[in-house]
Amino acid sequence: MARNDNLLSPERDFAEASGLDTALRPKSLDEFIGQKQLKDNLSIYIQAAKKRNEPLDHCLFYAPPGLGKTTLSYILAKEMGVNIKVTSGPVLTRPGDLATILTTEIQEGDILFIDEIHRLNAAVEEALYPAMEDFTYFFNTGGSGGSATTLKIDIPRFTLVAATTRTGLLTGPLRDRFGISFNLSFYNETELAAILQRSAGLLGSRTEFDALKLIARRSRGTPRIANRLLRRVRDFADVKTGGLINCEVAEEALTSMNIDREGLDELDRRILLAIANKFNGGPVGLETLSISVSEEQDTLTDVIEPFLIQKGFIQRTPRGRIITPKAAKHLGIKLHESSSDSSENLPLFNDENRHGLENETK
């Protein structure tokens, strides 16, 4: 598998951000499936804000990619009846970039959505504080240090909706300025099957519900992946079954994409096998593991590890990542404890296992 060809690679997300991915997004809280407590609370906050004729309080959504952070930002704008301006942390490189948006592109009550806010430039973050608290912006009109002069400008009352996959990288002052904060959880099989049923209807596909459940089971608890797999299964169905998505064609399609029964793709297995094969089951540090599989550290921590940890396939320890007995069983690897270091309870692999793993990774 080529680098960054995993199910949640940033390049693939960018390429499919428009088109079908956008068309399949729910447009209202009623259409949004899953995250019940979040929806119930947001509904109350929206009704209260509209009743008081005030902007919605600033919102922070944090979760792994593909769980609906961006979708919720658009839903909030629609429910509040306002416009939305979309940008991202890496794009806002200077305070002037933020100033342009807040003074010329945002109207009263509008939503400013900043994706990947944990990557916001420090100077931009500092400029954002008074904008969030007092709806004012300070321009530096000349000089520096004690001789600097600033101009205070009132800006429209707006709602900042921010998304991040790395809430631990947010500074305390920024995090504390969000009045509404939610952690989106992975979706269960029933919720994903319902999402797929809705998407199949929008795509005009004929389906058997058991086939949708099969796809849901292998979607890593993530709606974005579920919809992506549905489109690929639809391709197989159009060619092989006259458009009917049944269990047989779904199984064939998913097998052809190397998606196993637990939803792991080739990159997932390559990471698990690297820990097992190259590092004797672990522990192995993030930087070393990143180099060994030729993937960026952010990809491992933001995209791959949350699901593997949630599945119980790897563990993070103070000394690094280790593979679990559950993962070893899934991969068909035998584990045994080290007699010399049993206190660490780390998995070890004998030469026979290592030889088999080398064959699998070639």
Out of 110, 115, 265, 302, which one is annotated catalytic?
115
Please say if 12 is a catalytic residue: no
* Pick from 217, 211, 163, 170: nearest CA to 192: 217
| 115 is an active site residue | yes
Active-site residue (options: 25, 218, 220, 224): 224
Determine which one of 25, 70, 159, 207 is catalytic: 70
Given 71, 159, 164, 165, the catalytic residue: 165
Active site residue 69: yes
224: annotated active-site residue:
yes
Active site residue 167: no
The catalytic site residues sit at: 69-70, 115, 165, 224
